[in-house]
Copies of this chain bind each other. A is one copy, B any other.
Amino acid sequence: MSILVVGSVAYDTVETPFGRAERVLGGSASFFSVAASFFSPVSLVGVVGDDFGEEQLQAFRGRPIDLEGLERMEGRTFHWQGKYSLDLNSRDTICTDLNVFEFFKPKIPARYRGSEFVFLGNIDPVLQRQVLEQVERPRVVACDTMNFWIHGKPAEVRETLKKVQILLINDQEARDLSGEWNLVKAARAIRAMGPETLVVKKGEHGVLMFSEEGCFSAPALPLEVVFDPTGAGDTFAGGFLGYLSSTGQAGDAALRRAVVMGSTMASFCVEAFSLDRLLNLTRPEIDARYRDFENLTRFESL
């Protein structure tokens, strides 16, 4: 089943302790779409400026990614610049030039409107809702958000969450959204806002998923080199929802495998700048790494 994704398509300038990448492809919808496209067709909704050329579009070509919804506007493409700390666990935003993204009004092409799976990337919660108003009867709506919206538009975030089945956010966002430090309490509070399923991303510490079936914990793969964490969260979401959509299921067993597939895809993303590793990835490599997660976590009953 095809997945509708709305989010940013951007240029990133990234500094890590290992190097610097200048104006490379980034944005939540870019990472999500390429990761998800290994499993399901993707319908992309976003906006770029007239400085976004065929070279950048190559990342999406040759994959089942529909670009009809990628609007081209006069002006420059969204540009984010950030610098990571030595341990890669924190980053400073050096600049955020919204450019054409400031005027983004998601327009859903007619042939996208029957999508059964929808991913609302981290954009204004009002725009997220406008997307949902343009789709017919989605089976699963998954959503990301961030502290900027949680603190800046709390009522709008709450309103959007009422229409969401799966919320994917990081641990700090879960704490801020719920006002609870303890993640078990935070999950209960957030699930009461709407999403049946909460996926809490903890970076190098893995993922916790809370649902009606209880809690599922998946580690991150311990990697010797984490080159650039940019996009790991959106790549996780792409692997998660892409895999879930490919199964056509949304029960606990499928959700658990989807979390591991999201972690699998994220573990590739951080190995290189931008989408570089995702773009030369093969399905056998993905399946082998999924098995690495099985080896990493398996233990016997007493």
Q: Which of A5-13, A23-31, A201-209 contacts B (4 or more CB under 8 A)?
A: A201-209
Query: Do the beta carbons of A181 and B87 come within 8 Å of each other?
Result: yes
With A300-B253, A302-B290 already in contact, the answer to whether A219 and B217 are too (CB < 8 A) is: yes
Query: Do the beta carbons of B217 and A257 come within 8 Å of each other?
Result: no
Q: Which of A45-53, A101-109, A291-299 contacts B (4 or more CB under 8 A)?
A: A291-299
Indicate which residue in B184, B205, B294 contacts A205 across the interface (CB closer than 8 Å).
B205
Query: Do the beta carbons of B257 and A297 come within 8 Å of each other?
Result: no
Query: Do the beta carbons of B219 and A219 come within 8 Å of each other?
Result: yes
Is A215 engaged at the interface, CB distance under 8 Å to the other chain?
yes
Nearest CB of chain B from residue A213's CB, rounded to whole Å: 9
With A205-B205, A287-B302, A300-B253 already in contact, the answer to whether A214 and B295 are too (CB < 8 A) is: yes
Complex CA distance for A205 and B290, rounded to whole angstroms: 21
Residue of B nearest to A220 (CB): B217
Nearest CB of chain B from residue A252's CB, rounded to whole Å: 10
Complex CA distance for A216 and B293, rounded to whole angstroms: 9
With A253-B300, A290-B302 already in contact, the answer to whether A184 and B216 are too (CB < 8 A) is: no
With A184-B223, A299-B216 already in contact, the answer to whether A205 and B208 are too (CB < 8 A) is: no
Is A96 engaged at the interface, CB distance under 8 Å to the other chain?
no
Contacts of A294 in B (CB 8 A): 299, 301
Residue of B nearest to A210 (CB): B222
Is A256 engaged at the interface, CB distance under 8 Å to the other chain?
yes
Complex CA distance for A127 and B298, rounded to whole angstroms: 37
Complex CA distance for A256 and B22, rounded to whole angstroms: 44
Q: A residues 242-287 with Cβ under 8 Å of B? A: 253, 256-257, 259-260, 287
Complex CA distance for A290 and B294, rounded to whole angstroms: 19
Nearest CB of chain B from residue A169's CB, rounded to whole Å: 16
Is A218 engaged at the interface, CB distance under 8 Å to the other chain?
yes
Nearest CB of chain B from residue A115's CB, rounded to whole Å: 24
Q: A residues 64-96 with Cβ under 8 Å of B? A: 86-87
Indicate which residue in B86, B214, B215, B296 contacts A217 across the interface (CB closer than 8 Å).
B296
Contacts of A222 in B (CB 8 A): 183-184, 208, 215, 217
Q: List 10 A-B contacts (CB under 8 A).
A: A183-B222, A185-B224, A205-B206, A206-B219, A208-B219, A218-B297, A256-B299, A257-B299, A297-B297, A297-B299
Closest 6 CB pairs of A and B: A217-B219, A256-B299, A205-B205, A184-B224, A184-B222, A217-B296
